[in-house]
Structure formats: C-alpha cells, structure tokens
Amino acid sequence: MGNIFIIGAAGKMGKWFFEYFYNIKYKSNSIENINDLSVGKIFLYDIKEIEYSSSYKDVDIIIANSISESIKLSDVVIFCTPVNEIINIINTNADFFRSRSILIEISSVKSTIHRILSDISTDRDIVTLCIHPMFGPGASTVISTNKIISIPVNKNKSKLEKDIFNKIFPNFNKILIENPEKHDLAISVVISLIYFINLVFSKFLVELSDSKEFKFEDNLMEFFKKISGSTFKIQSLLSESILTDDVSLFLTLFINNDKSIITIKKYHQLFNNLLDKIEKKDQEFIKKYVLSTRNDIKKDIDINRSYEMLYKFLNS
C-alpha cells in the first residue's frame, strides 16, 4: 500500500485506523490475508494533539505539520474528520494527490461527500472509497466480524474500488449499499434515532436528579442502579456508551443527515399517539397495540431468543 496518511488522527476513529495500519505494518497481530499488504510511513495529522503518538518511537510514524506536503508523499489518504473538513481539505489540496493514490473517507453521512468524491474520482487518476465502519472505536482491530458499509463512487472504476476495498479490509464483513441516499436513510434509523433517544434519556436522568420529587435520594443514579433490573441496566449502559463518542458525530448525525429529522419525527408521532392513549387510560387500545406490535415483530424475529441473549449478557 505504501505510505498512509491519517487526517483527524487524534479522534477516536483516527486512532483506530492508526492501530489497524500499524498492526499490518509490523504484522504484530494475527490478521490473515494481509501478508501481501506492506505499509511504509504513517503520517498523522490533527489540529488537536495526537496523544497516543508519543508512545511510538518509530521513524516511520510521523506527525505531519502540513496537510499538502503529506498528501504529496502518501499512497493512501484516510479522512477521519467531519464532512465539512473533508470537503475543505479536498478542495484546497486536490492538486497534491499522487497519481493512482487512494482516498478513503469514513463519515456517517454520505449524500454530500459522495458527490465530492465522485467529482475528484472523475477528474483525477485516484480511487476513492466511500465507506462507513459500523463499529465504534472500542472494536477490536483484529476481529474479522467488524462491519463496513461501502458505497460505489465511480462507475468507471467500480472494479478498482472493489478490489482495493477487499485488499485493505480482507477479513471484514463488507456490506454494499447502492447509493448515498439509501445509506443516509438507513443510518437515520439505525444510528441517529437511537443516539437521539438515548441522549434524551441521559439528559432526562440528569434533570431528574435536580427535581423536587426525587430529592429523597442524594445520589439518584446510584439509587436507580441499586434498585433496577435488566431493562434499565441495558438502556442506561447504552445511553452512557453513546456519550463516549465525539461531539462531532452527534452533529453529523442530527444536522448533516437530512433524513434524521424525518425519521425522528416519525418516531415522535408514534410516541405522541401512545402517550395520548395512556393519558386517556384506553386499556383496549394499549392491549391491542402491544399484541399487534408483538405479532408483527415476531414475523421476522425470534423474540424469545432476543430475550435469552440479553439475559445471557446480564447473567455473565
């Protein structure tokens, strides 16, 4: 692969990709099928301090001072920054990409960036990968079940894009989504909505701690953890976990993905509807609602197995 340049290296996913390529460079883990991949220098750039870099005393790991200079020296440039910054950097540095180099971007919203990638891939002799890792920075850099979505960019280079994607991520679970619109719509459900619900849940718990009704407990969080069972444990673990993500991810999900607001509003409408029936104590409606939802979900999913899986986790 030659030299690698990670832009946004201080962020959590930047660090993940650094470790991934570092492991490939030194074959220091058991990733299969990577023996034909060779990594030269690894350039790291960020406007923030790249804290982990100080623990690597290695002439091949270089903190870059200039984006353009490092782009000129690199065969693979990977963007781990918010979309707006990717666009800025590409616009001001398009001339510096090496011929036949590879540009990878991993953002969570694709509609805008996909057009930019498409343009540069058409205009120049470079290959662009529009991918979305469906795992967080806590994921192993070895485990092969990590999922990555890819969206084809340039029809005339589709085989090249596919070959390079397979070469760089040989053992991953690779999922193709045909176009950026479909990607953004799906992401608005499987990420944005869930981040929204859980962010509000955390905020709700914080506000509750200050509320009159709950003043009987000095440490309300501790009280809830102490008395609660499985459902609260899972929901709060999830809502705490999403808070470890970079703030820029929340902004990308909520503001840059224009499908998110539509999706969240759809959920909101159902929320309002059920809340209204509960206020009216409409027992028959709620009964039918639970039963019909259960029946509909059961058409596709073995809910008893889901229950067992959760309990397996909780008992572990």
The residues, any chain, with a CB within 8 Å of residue 183's CB and separated by 6 or more, are: 110, 132, 149, 151, 177
Q: Are 71 and 93 in contact (CB under 8 A)?
A: yes
Alpha carbon separation from 205 to 59, 132, 188, 235 (Å, rounded)? 48, 31, 24, 12
Q: Min. distance of Cβ 116 from a second copy in angstroms?
A: 21
30: tokens are 């058991």
| Element spanning 133, H or E | strand 127-133
Nearer to a second copy, 59 or 247 (CB): 247
Rounded Cα distance between 86 and 258, Å, is: 18
Nearer to a second copy, 74 or 188 (CB): 188
- Residue written as token pair 């479909």: 182
Phi, psi of 9 (to 5 degrees): -70, -20
Least distance to a second copy from the beta carbon of 106, Å?
13
Nearer to a second copy, 61 or 189 (CB): 189
Q: Closest CB to a second copy among 76 and 148?
A: 148
Of 66 and 274, nearer to a second copy (C-beta) is 274
Which lies closer to a second copy via its Cβ, residue 27 or residue 288? 288
Give whichever of 65 and 138 is closer to a second copy, judged by the CB atom.
Answer: 138
Residue placing its CB nearer to a second copy in the complex, 72 or 162: 162
How far apart are CB 225 and a second copy at their closest, in Å?
8
The least CB distance from residue 295 to a second copy, in Å, is: 9
Distance (Å, whole) CA 119 – CA 102: 14
Q: How far is the CB of 258 from a second copy (least distance, A)?
A: 10
Closer of 58 and 308 to a second copy (Cβ): 308
Q: Which amino acid is at 293?
A: T
**3-state SS of the chain: helix, strand, coil percent to 5?**
55, 15, 30
Nearest distance, CB of residue 270 and a second copy, angstroms: 5
C-alpha 197/C-alpha 264 separation (Å) is 9
Contacts of the segment 260-267: beta carbons below 8 A, 24+ positions apart: 260/188, 260/192, 260/193, 260/196, 262/188, 263/185, 263/188, 263/189, 263/192, 263/193, 264/188, 264/192, 264/193, 264/196, 267/193, 267/197
Q: How far is the CB of 54 from a second copy (least distance, A)?
A: 20
**How would you list the strands of the sheet with 127-133, edge to edge?**
61-63, 39-45, 2-7, 76-79, 102-105, 127-133, 147-151, 173-176
Minimal distance, residue 308 CB to a second copy, in Å: 7
